[in-house]
Every structure is written in C-alpha cells, then in structure tokens.
Amino acid sequence: MDADSSLKTVEETMAKAIEFYTQELSGIRTGKASPSLIENIDVKVASYGSTMKLKGLGVITTPEARQLLVQPFDPSTTRDIEKAIRDANLGFNPMVESTSVRVPVPELTAERRKDMVKTVKGMTEDAKVRIRGCRKDGMDTAKKLKNENILTEDSKKDFETSVQELTDKSIKQIDELFVTKEKEVLTV
C-alpha cells in the first residue's frame, strides 16, 4: 500500500458517497412525474418469494405530465407492485388497470414541499457524515503509513492536507446539489 493508491481510494469512496446521495435525491418529488420517483421501491413479490426493485419488475413510463404508468413484465405481479407503491409512503394512490398500474402524481402543497426540504436536509447531512467517515479513514491511513515508515512526517502532513482538500471539495459539491434540489422542490 502506498500513499498515491491510498489517496485514490479515499477519492473514489467520496465519489461513491456523492453518487449515492445524487441517487437518493432523484427519488424526491418535485411535482413532476418521473420514473425515478418509484423505480427504487422494494417490491415483495409473493409469486417469486423474494424482494426486487420496481425497475426490475416492469417498464415505468410517464404518459402524462402528472402520471406514471408501470407495465409489469409478469402480469401476476401487478397487485404486488400496487401494494408496494402504496406502502412506500410517498403520497401516491396507485390504481390497477388490467395488467398495468397507473400512478397519479398529485400537486404538492406548500406544507408538503417544506416537509420534503426537511427530508432533503436530512439526506444531505447523512451524505456529509459519509464524507466525514471517508476523511477519517484517510487520516487513519496516513497514520498507518507513517507508522509503517512508508511516509515521512512531512509527507504524512501533505497526505492529510490532500484528504482534507478532497473532503472540502466533496462537501461543497453536496451543498451545491442540496441548493439545486431545494430550489426544485420549492418551485411551484
């Protein structure tokens, strides 16, 4: 293990944390119908005896601006999909139409928008905690490399400075994503 590969590992871990946060944000409603609102819902499929993501069970489309349509690959899973969307507590009231599930996307109230911003703030804080965890791992790696005499005291400080710069850059990126999503959610 050397300093360059360790720093690259810290950078990749932070990038994955940001990517996860971005995926989480895509599931937050902004008043527009989007397949990303429901595609990651876990569906307990009785006939398969397992849990799967909704996007793996059917095609999710947006036939109208305020509506989603789920067309299952296996029509026997239609009721399971409806139940999972209802139980996901996203404020949707799905309706089964023969072999598909229609999901009307209601207009967001001002109160609901504020609640969503609070949810996004919580997700943002969780993402920052993940980044700080990566930072701690990086700092621990610096100590370990110093103790193994791979790094000198000066190069350890340089390594720690690089880790801190990556942390600051990642936190700034998360804050920018939050501001964008907050604006999106609050826009009527």
For the structural domain made of 3-26+109-186, what CATH number should be given?
A: 1.10.132.20
Could you give the residue range(s) of every CATH 3.30.1360.40 domain in the chain? 35-104
Position 30 scores a pLDDT of: 66
* CB-based contact 163:132 (threshold 8 Å): no
Does position 31 have pLDDT exceeding 70, yes or no?
Answer: no
Residue 47 binned pLDDT confidence (cut-offs 50, 70, 90)? low
Summarised one tens digit per residue, pLDDT across range 120-166 is: 899 999 999 999 999 999 999 989 988 888 888 898 899 999 999 99
What's this model's pTM, rounded to 2 decimal places?
0.71
Does position 45 have pLDDT exceeding 80, yes or no?
Answer: no
For the structural domain made of 35-104, what CATH number should be given?
A: 3.30.1360.40
